Structure 1
Amino acid sequence: MSYETILYEKDASDKFATITINRPDKMNAMNKVVIREIDAAVAAAVADPDINALVITGAGRAFSSGYDLQGGDFDVDIDFWREDMSENAEALLNIWRAPIPVIASVNGYALAGALELMMCCDLAIAADNAKFGEPEVRHNSGPPALMMPWLLATRDVRWLMFTGDMVDAQEALRMHLINKIVPADQLKEKTENLARKLARMPLPALRYTKASINNQQMVAGLMPSFQYNIEAIAALHVTKAGRDWMANLAKMSLKEYLAFRDNPFKGLD
């Protein structure tokens, strides 16, 4: 299968594949094509008996800046938002559901929807210059895929989700957002070493272990939590403040919009 916005490559010697988000000129921002192509590539990897592990990364200087804010008509009703966010959440949950281990290899920025994608992976290795955050609260939005409370302590979840602050790799490691930090120039090598290790494990052990870990989260209420969040954020988007922010996005360039959003918070760290 050919892809427009991602690269899909099987390793030549070991049973793993790599998905690379390939929009470096847009900081790998994720539009619907990206989401659907990642979903299709994950499904292809799961169906391939020669793939025992999967890596997801980004081309250029970012893992991904999150969902693409350009080019959409955001003067829409709650039904649109419910459908839109349900599709996004389902695609990310398919990474979490995949019966093979998935590694996020984080180069540069992993923000908003991209942070959610990273958190739906089983493991995460980050370059020492990586940055992480959920800045969308600053423009009256929120994540469609609420994985963070299932990984982090509640205090850290509230900090990231309430402030929109970015954190560096060391802070992300302390929060357990990631498993390991490596020098940026060693990220590919270290990620592939981990992928090779997983690819050589007895696959049934990984499949059944992942199923048990996921079941613990499901029993604790992950699915109802995701569905509640989709409804809540869809409603948030159609509040007066939500519609006002979306109207600003339609009138401004992305650079102007991000400056308008973030200027009130300068100097407060």
Structure 2
Amino acid sequence: MSTSEQAQLLVDRVDGVVTLTLNRPDQFNALTEELLAQLQSSLDVLAQDADLRCVVLAAAGRAFCAGHDLKQMRAASDHDYYVRLFARCGRVMQSLVALPVPVIAKVHGMATAAGCQLVASCDLAIAADTAKFAVSGINVGLFCSTPAVALSRNVPAKKAFEMLMTGRFISSSEAVDNGLINQAVAPGQLDATVAALVQTICAKSPVAVRTGKAMYYRQRSMGLADAYDYAGGVMAQNMMAQDVAEGIDAFTQKRPPVWKGC
């Protein structure tokens, strides 16, 4: 994967950390068909990358993402086109969740509609305290149905429904309170805060991180008893990893662990 100034998505890799940067700054990084396709292609490649440790989803310009490109959407009037477009977007969102390592949204400016959906689809989110969030499709007569899927899995039901029905923007502090993002920091601290979170994740055992993400999302859809049965099996299998033996030995010997990734 290479970085191109013309690309709607920039891909940068430093060791096992990949940063995906939405790159339509003059259009507030609105999601075109092309940008969705580039995101999907990158996520498909990353899903097979055994050396991947963490992914950061960022954006160029003054905003994180203004949602779907409304001009492109309006230029089409075919029902099947819209079915394909929203299915493509839904696949991108699900691919973020399915990626085997944590995905961190680094948010500045505004994140609206499908842009807010992107934030909600990431595992973690850090935002500038000046950022704002909305699912504002209802303001143009289009209920944000697909963003509602991700939003309602992050935000309490009445809060999510209020956002969807009113289309109003919420602040970063409200987004923290509602569980949409993890933390809001001064804009000048955003890069350093995300970098510190990445460093913390990368310092952990790759086996534990990958096992944990997969297990976390799968158990959420289960009943309590099934979730405990599943979690117990996962934990027993995790105990067989070399990294666990190394981690426990390092703890008892009061030394830093040396992860083998297996």
State the TM-score bracket (shorter-chain normalisation): 0.7 to 0.9
Report what 1:171 is aligned to. Answer: 174
Partner of 1:74: 76
The CA RMSD over aligned residues, in Å, is 1.6
Deviations 1:174-194 (A, max 9, x none): 111100111101111111111
Deviation, 1:70, is 1.3
Q: Give the secondary structure class of the aligned counterpart of 1:171.
A: helix
Q: Could you report, residue by residue, the CA deviation over 1:200-222 in whole angstroms, capped at 9, with x for unpaired residues?
A: 211111111111211133447xx
Scaled by the length of structure 1, what TM-score is found?
0.76
**Aligned partners of 1:51, 1:148: CA distance in 2, in Å?**
27
Counterpart of 1:36 in structure 2 is 37
Counterpart check, 1:9 vs 2:33: no
The alpha-carbon deviation at position 52 of structure 1 amounts to 0.6
| 1:190 aligned onto 2:193 | yes
Segments of structure 2 that go 5 or more residues without pairing to the other structure are 224-262
Deviation at 1:98, TM superposition (A): 0.5
Whether contact under 8 Å (1:123, 1:178) holds in the other structure is yes
Tell me which residue corresponds to 1:148. 151
**Partner of 2:237 in structure 1?**
none
Name 2:92's counterpart in structure 1: 91
Structure 2 partner of 1:137: 138
Structure-2 separation of matches of 1:71 and 1:81: 11
**1:24 matches 2:22:** no
Contact preservation (8 Å) 1:31, 1:67: yes
CA radius of gyration, larger in: 2
Give structure 1 stretches of 5+ with no counterpart.
221-269
Does the CA-based 8 Å contact 2:19-2:56 persist in structure 1?
yes
Q: Is the 8 A contact 2:33 2:85 kept in 1?
A: no
The AA in structure 2 aligned to 1:195 is V
TM-score w.r.t. structure 2 length?
0.78
C-alpha distance in structure 2 between counterparts of 1:95 and 1:109, whole Å: 20
- In structure 2, what is the equivalent of residue 257 of structure 1? none
Could you tell which deviates more after superposition, 96-105 or 142-151?
142-151
Following superposition, the deviation at residue 39 of structure 1 comes to: 1.6
Indicate if the aligned counterparts of 1:113 and 1:143 stay in contact, CA closer than 8 A. Answer: no
Q: Secondary structure at the match of 2:72?
A: coil
Distance in 2, matches of 1:81 and 1:39, equals 18
Please say if 1:161 is aligned against 2:164.
Answer: yes
Give the counterpart letter for 2:176 in structure 1.
L
Question: 1:86-125 CA distances to partner (integer Å, 9 max, x unpaired)?
Answer: 1110111000111100000001111110110111100000
Between 50-59 and 136-145, report the one with greater CA deviation. Answer: 136-145
Per-residue CA deviations over 1:117-176 (Å, capped at 9, x if unaligned) read: 111100000001100000101112224241111111111011100000001101111111
Three-state SS of the structure 2 residue aligned to 1:197 is: helix
- The answer to whether 1:212 aligns with 2:243 is no
Q: Identity of aligned pairs, percent? A: 28
Q: Distance in 2 between matches of 1:45 and 1:200?
A: 20
